């Protein structure tokens, strides 16, 4: 009788463990479905487009609540003597990636933009087609954003507009890497000289405080929009748009009377 009781206890324990494990799997699956339903990945169209970003995740609330959002129509409100941009690019790039939202060139460490004595390291530059920012009401077919960050997380972006014209040598090297397998980094080495010619030789700029133009739309970003556009050929612009696969520009946001320095 004792032997039968032991076997019965073992069998009962096994049944309970199996049931518990199955319940845990069901709860985990339900939690995953719940998280997926409430944390949709953002995009540029439909129910995940810019007008819906703030509803996709609580962390994206600034996309609708922020009062210093980017991009904007850049129209100067304050005429002052702006210091020349203190750019020190010397390391070049290491890779390129189509991350599903843009074509992004990743930079080796050490390139900096210095603002008020503080170094912001260049992390990457990427493209939007058509442009996100407008300048005095004008939209451009292509815009590049050079994204910089300090060690404590402060951000600064230099924006370069492109108008249709002669070929850009750096864009030639980038376009030759297409097509890119999405979310897979590919090697791309651009020297300092190639980084220099992405930007125009004359680097007068507009300055204002704005935000990231993608979720979570974080604010307190220093924006420097260069006044002189660069040129890119129609073929280069078309190749960039084809690789990105969509218009990846957030609509212009309200300036809300913010100071735009010229």
> pLDDT (tens digit, 9 = 90+) per residue, 223-256?
999 999 999 999 999 999 999 999 999 999 999 9
Q: 154, 55 in Cβ contact below 8 A?
A: no
Q: What percent of the chain has pLDDT over 70?
A: 85
Residue with tokens 């750019």, as numbered in its chain: 87
Q: Encode 21-75 in three state secondary structure.
A: HHHHHHHHHHHHHHHHHHCCCCCCCHHHCHHHHHHHCHHHCHHHHCCCCCCCEEC
Catalytic residue status for 101: yes
Q: What is the pLDDT of residues 117-129, one digit of tens each?
A: 999 999 999 999 9
Local structure of 171: helix, strand or coil: helix
The pLDDT, as a whole number, for residue 30 is 33
Active-site residue identified among 101, 128, 148, 207: 101
The closest of 49, 101, 129, 69 to 252, measured between CA atoms, is 69
Whether the pLDDT of residue 23 is over 90: the answer is: no
CA-CA distance, 96 to 4, in Å (whole number)?
68
Q: What's the whole-number mean pLDDT along residues 72-79?
A: 96
Q: pLDDT band for 7, please (50, 70, 90 cuts).
A: very low
DSSP for residue 138:
B
CA 27 centroid distance within chain: 34
Q: Are 231 and 142 in contact (CB under 8 A)?
A: no
Of 23-37, 63-77, 201-215, 236-250, where does mean pLDDT reach its minimum?
23-37
pLDDT at 173 over 60: yes
Q: Give 177's contacts (C-beta < 8 A, 6+ positions apart).
A: 96, 186, 188
Could you list the beta-strand ranges (E) of the chain. Answer: 73-74, 86-88, 93-98, 103-107, 112-115, 118-128, 134-135, 142-149, 155-164, 186-187, 205-211, 219-226, 230-232
How far apart CA 162 and CA 144 sit, in angstroms, is 8
pLDDT attached to residue 145: 98
Task: For residue 202, give every residue at least 6 positions away whose Cβ sits within 8 Å of its Cβ, in sequence order, or none.
Answer: 227, 228
Cα–Cα dist 77/257, whole Å = 9
The answer on pLDDT for 29 being more than 80 is no
CA distance 91 to 212: 25
- Residue 206: the pLDDT is 98
188-222 pLDDT, tens per residue?
Answer: 999 999 998 999 999 999 999 999 999 999 999 99
Residue 40 pLDDT grade (very low, low, confident, very high; cuts 50, 70, 90):
low
| pLDDT of residue 179 exceeding 80 | yes
Say yes or no to pLDDT of 2 above 50. no
């Amino acid at each position: 009788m004792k032997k039968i009781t032991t076997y019965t206890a073992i069998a009962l324990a096994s049944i309970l463990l199996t049931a518990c494990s199955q319940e845990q799997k069901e709860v985990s699956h339900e939690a995953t479905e719940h998280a997926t339903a409430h944390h949709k990945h953002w995009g540029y169209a439909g129910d995940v487009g810019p007008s819906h970003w703030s509803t996709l995740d609580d962390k994206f609330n600034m996309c609708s609540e922020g009062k210093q959002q980017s991009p904007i129509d850049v129209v100067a409100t304050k005429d002052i003597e702006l210091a020349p941009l203190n750019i020190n690019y010397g390391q070049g790039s290491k890779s390129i990636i189509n991350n599903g939202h843009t074509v992004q060139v990743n930079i080796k460490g050490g390139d900096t933009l210095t603002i008020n004595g503080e170094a912001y390291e260049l992390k990457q530059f990427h493209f939007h087609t058509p442009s996100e920012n407008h300048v005095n009401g004008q939209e451009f077919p292509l815009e590049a954003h050079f994204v910089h960050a300090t060690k404590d997380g402060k951000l600064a972006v230099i924006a370069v507009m492109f108008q249709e014209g002669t070929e850009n040598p750096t864009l030639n090297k980038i376009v030759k890497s297409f097509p890119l397998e999405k979310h897979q980094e590919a090697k791309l080495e651009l020297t300092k000289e190639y980084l220099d010619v992405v930007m125009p030789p004359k680097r007068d700029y507009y300055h204002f405080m704005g935000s990231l133009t993608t979720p979570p739309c974080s604010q307190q970003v220093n924006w420097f929009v260069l006044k002189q556009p660069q040129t890119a050929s129609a073929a280069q612009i078309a190749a960039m748009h084809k690789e990105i696969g969509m218009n990846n520009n957030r609509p212009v946001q309200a300036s809300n009377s913010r100071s735009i320095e010229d």
